Structure 1
Amino acid sequence: MKGLPANSIGTIENSLAAATRKQYSTTYKLWWAFCSTNHIDPFRAEPNQAIKFLQEQLDLKPNTGYGTLNQHRSALALILDNLSCSGIVKRFMRGVFKMKPLTTKYRHIWDPKTVLNYIESLGPNSSLSLRQLTMKTVTLLALISGHRLQTLSLIRLENINQSPQGFEIWITDHIKTSRVGGEQPTLQVPFFQANPSLCAATTLKDYLKATQPLRKDEFLFITFRQPHRTASKDSISRWVKEVLKAAGVDMNVFAPHSTRHAVTSAAYKKGLSWDIIRRSAGWSQNSQVFAKFYNRPTQQHGSSLAPAILAVNN
């Protein structure tokens, strides 16, 4: 309908992440039903008709927030050429934002020391089962890097480089924050001699040794049950959730992804500079997602999150 060559459609579709496609499919089901009821061509609707749809979603579900409405708007803009530049739609969304402003997900966050104390209580790596070692490894990496669990699920063996100082891990796959010309994240995992029980580098080294005979794929994390397939992001999320729950974190309030909130907040309070936190956790140079909530003078200590996070247990 837009006059595009048929062989370009797949390329254009690849611009959307799998999660985005899933979100948009929800919008399109609602939009198709709305258009059918109101006898509207879903591909040639006017901005005022799109606003009617968005307002209807707002009225039918009063708890709908700005983020959900903006997701609907983005999905419609993909199929309606005149929506993106519509001034009245922008005005409508500004009104939604004022009615339902974005808020932080958590009013408070758990202390990483709680989880580190639990991990330390597990004992030496040599005494752990593969299940325990797997969960310890992924949780420590989440804590000392501050990265999303999606990033950890994309660690490839070929991108893990060991040195006397620790490990450097390159992430080459596309992640949520990947942009044209942007930097891909690099995870720094230094050895922590002060407390071997909490050393992520040592634990990673032991995990690699324990899983080497079981590997059939190129990714770091594998399931601890046969046939030991590559672990998905959802599996990694469940493992971290189990560790947090065992450590006493209220999982009715917090999600596994809260490791990112907890460690960056703790590092900031320890005096780590915003620039180091930003680079370590994968935020862009101009990102205000973290900085606007912790905008205080800082003092630089080291070059990664790991020492600041693990030191909270000493």
Structure 2
Amino acid sequence: RSATPALERAYPGGGSLIRQAFLMKHVSEKAADTLIQSLSTSTLKQYEVTFKSWWKYCQDHNVNPLHAQVEEVISFLQYLMETTNYGYGTFNAHRSALSLILPGVGSNFLVKRFLKAVFNLRPSKPRYENVWDPNIVLKFLDVPTPPSDLKKLSYKLATLLLLATGQRIQTISLIRLSNIKTTSKGVTIPITERVKTSRPGCNQPCLHLKLFTEKPNLCVATLIMKYLEVTRPFRESSMDDKLFLCHQKPHRPAKRPTISRWVKETLKEAGVDTSIFSAYSTRHAATSDAYRKGVSIDTIRSSAGWSPESSVFARFYNRPLTESPDEFTNRVFQLDPN
């Protein structure tokens, strides 16, 4: 039960802790390094919160973090219940993280029972009870954009891409020029890099953007072509293949937080209350609007990147208005007459 001398030191980091746990299972160092690659960067970042808390708890209670018994894990979870307002989703993430370094914990009867109690006491809730009407933003953006204004062009393209597809900001931040395929009907963009939903047996996202001749100012396919033309001079000295570039010199590739800020500023200018709604709310707004306009749940799942059997949309994304592949974009961009 007591902490070993090797563990009585500063927190080594989540990756190091996981690697130690793998090595304790008598795998080789190279195999341990390979096993760590099964975890995405975002998952490791999420688990880091758990491991830091767990490490401190173990040091305070003289417990070896890699040899703890189930009752010690239960005590840790109870400690979090008493000292935080974490909901069920966070506790479930803690269970997943601890299962990596303490095999068998995640499936243990007492741990599962504890998590069920947390679900009853602190159930997961949708981020938003209602959502804004995409028409507000679409009407705001339904104006010509001067090619000379790279800032406005960048903000508009990022926002419309999210509304046209229902995808995550992470997904559009991974668009590569080499993957953009143009035809007489529009643009197809397969996402080849790993995303949140990437796993064996699951298809990678593929964005389908048809030419939207009825509303040329809102045509995402045309806007992509215009954006590529405007940014071409800035790409000559860059080897990076990413679609989005920062609109300020030296025009480096735009990362996810930057694109998120662009979208949030656009929503605010359009009249969306950004003290409540983040840039990520475009996913809620677009998918909910598509459903209200008659798009099937299967089509919504496919366009927005959920698996065919996923219940996430119904549970967390299908929200009423605050006031109330191609088919998805058509319906979302079908403006109300008033």
Matched, 1:175 2:195: yes
Q: Answer whether contact 2:166 2:286 (CA < 8 A) is retained.
A: yes
Match of 2:96 among 64, 69, 74: 74
1:214 maps to 234
Written as runs of structure 1 = structure 2, the 5 A alignment for 1:1-314 is 1-61=24-84, 63-120=85-142, 123-126=143-146, 129-215=149-235, 216=238, 217-292=240-315, 303-314=326-337
Q: Offset of 1:293 from its aligned partner?
A: 6.9
CA distance in 2, matches of 1:237, 1:85: 37
In structure 2, do the counterparts of structure 1 residues 279 and 231 end up closer, same or farther at CA, with 3 Å as the change threshold?
A: same
CA distance in 1, matches of 2:57, 2:101: 15
Matched AA of 2:157: T
Count of residues paired in the alignment: 305
Q: Answer whether contact 1:149 1:233 (CA < 8 A) is retained.
A: yes
Q: Answer whether contact 2:147 2:230 (CA < 8 A) is retained.
A: no
Q: Answer whether contact 2:210 2:326 (CA < 8 A) is retained.
A: no
Q: Answer whether contact 1:125 1:203 (CA < 8 A) is retained.
A: no
Question: What is the TM-score of this pair, normalised by structure 2?
Answer: 0.87
Matched AA of 1:81: P
CA RMSD of aligned residues (A): 1.5
Q: Answer whether contact 1:280 1:304 (CA < 8 A) is retained.
A: no
Q: Offset of 1:306 from its aligned partner?
A: 1.0
CA distance in 2, matches of 1:148, 1:132: 21
Q: Answer whether contact 2:154 2:227 (CA < 8 A) is retained.
A: yes
Q: Offset of 1:294 from its aligned partner?
A: 8.7
Q: Report Cα offsets for 1:105-157 as digits up to 9, x if no partner.
A: 1110000000011112xx32335500100111111111101000000000011
Matched AA of 1:154: L
CA distance in 1, matches of 2:264, 2:271: 11
CA distance in 1, matches of 2:333, 2:46: 37
Q: Report Cα offsets for 1:35-78 as digits up to 9, x if no partner.
A: 112111110101110010011011011x2111111122111111
Q: Answer whether contact 2:208 2:326 (CA < 8 A) is retained.
A: no
CA distance in 1, matches of 2:157, 2:45: 30
1:298 maps to none
Q: Offset of 1:235 from its aligned partner?
A: 0.8
CA distance in 2, matches of 1:181, 1:82: 25
Q: Answer whether contact 1:188 1:304 (CA < 8 A) is retained.
A: no
CA distance in 1, matches of 2:100, 2:35: 11
Superposed structure 1 runs of 4+ greater than 2 Å apart? 125-128, 291-295
Q: Report Cα offsets for 1:11-44 as digits up to 9, x if no partner.
A: 1111112122122222112111111121111101
Unpaired runs of 5+ in structure 2? 1-23, 319-324
CA distance in 2, matches of 1:9, 1:68: 27
Q: Report Cα offsets for 1:230-280 as digits up to 9, x if no partner.
A: 111111111101100111111111111110000111011111111111111
In structure 2, do the counterparts of structure 1 residues 164 and 154 end up closer, same or farther at CA, with 3 Å as the change threshold?
A: same
What secondary structure is seen at the aligned counterpart in 2 of 1:52? Answer: helix
Matched AA of 2:254: A
Q: Offset of 1:292 from its aligned partner?
A: 5.0
Question: What is the TM-score of this pair, normalised by structure 1?
Answer: 0.93
What secondary structure is seen at the aligned counterpart in 1 of 2:47? Answer: helix
CA distance in 1, matches of 2:110, 2:88: 16
Q: Offset of 1:84 from its aligned partner?
A: 2.3
